[in-house]
Structure 1
């Protein structure tokens, strides 16, 4: 199994967490987003959207981090990251999709690059854009956790897809200088997760292509 990704890609980080939690090994094949390697003909041949991650399992090629984690859950169901049924499944997907669909897309590297290179916004304007959408999205996430979350992870004593999505988003927010004091529940979950070996192994700084 191969994982095409990038050390600082939060979507790649999500999949690395899932693999580490399940104890499934995958060969890391770095795709340097800063150098636009994702737009090479070879990579677009794997992923027409020119993004990461891409999981290659034999002849099976799969893109989109949440689809990959769902596939891993089916192939390697212990530990289960997406509950199989009922309200627990709905709550995990609600929070995960809030991060993956509401927060991440508007702050993706290609969006930020378009803002600067095509629309001509300044560094300060780009930073304001990033921090605005992170604050709005994390405020909604904090409220969801206050209503429905419990335990040291997002939903209980074991990590789920929600933690796989939330932790990389917090890492991005911290890297971009976003204020986190208004989100104590999120901060506590992030701190607990990052104290666990699987999350540490998946962290950007521990990847073969890491650049400070």
Structure 2
């Protein structure tokens, strides 16, 4: 497998964790978002949207969108499942993952932030106010959902899709010095995750 990757991409970070949890070997092909390599014509033949990650498997068109990639991996390599056992538990797990991947991340990814300071000429201070606003709303929701649970991870005592989405989002928040003190449950879960090699080795700091 070949993963088109950018180390600090939250979405690509998710897929690296999932691949590691599954114990799968893959070749990483760096795509620098800062250098705009995602918009190169050659990469657009891999992923027409010009986003990372993309995952190529032998003989097949590249897969895109991190959640779709991870569900493909879970169905194709069911050992070490990324979703809980029952339909109700899986729905709750997917909801947490989607809270992050659909409600927090898209408003704060690089192309949105660059558009704010580019075409709309917002200052860096205004950009960070936007970023922190959406992080606060999202993390408040997650903390409220998870604070009543005593499980090790988001959805039980083993990592799932929800944890795979949570850890990169917290990493991204720390990069911009966002205060995580109000979110002790999220930080506790993150610490458990990062004690596992699959998470630690996927980190952009690794």
TM-score normalised by structure 1 residue count? 0.94
Residues 75-107 of structure 1: CA deviation (Å, up to 9, x unaligned)? 111110023542110110010000000000000
Question: C-alpha distance in 1, partners of 2:100/2:182?
Answer: 17
**Structure 1: gaps of 5 or more residues:** 207-212
Q: Report the 3-state secondary structure (helix = DSSP H, G, I; strand = E; otherwise coil) of the residue aligned with 1:205.
A: coil
Q: In the alignment, is the contact (CA less than 8 A) between 2:116 and 2:122 conserved in 1?
A: yes
Question: C-alpha distance in 2, partners of 1:52/1:143?
Answer: 30
How many residues end up aligned between the 2 structures? 205
Q: Report the 3-state secondary structure (helix = DSSP H, G, I; strand = E; otherwise coil) of the residue aligned with 2:55.
A: strand
Give the equivalent residue in structure 2 for 1:209: none
Determine if the alignment matches structure 1 residue 134 to structure 2 residue 135. yes
Give the equivalent residue in structure 2 for 1:104: 105
Q: 1:87 to 1:150 in 2, by over 3 A?
A: farther
Q: In the alignment, is the contact (CA less than 8 A) between 2:22 and 2:80 conserved in 1?
A: yes
Give the equivalent residue in structure 1 for 2:184: 184
RMSD: 1.0
Query: Residue 150 of structure 1: CA displacement?
Result: 3.7
**Structure 2: gaps of 5 or more residues:** none
Residues 28-82 of structure 1: CA deviation (Å, up to 9, x unaligned)? 0000000000000111111111100000001221000000000000111111002
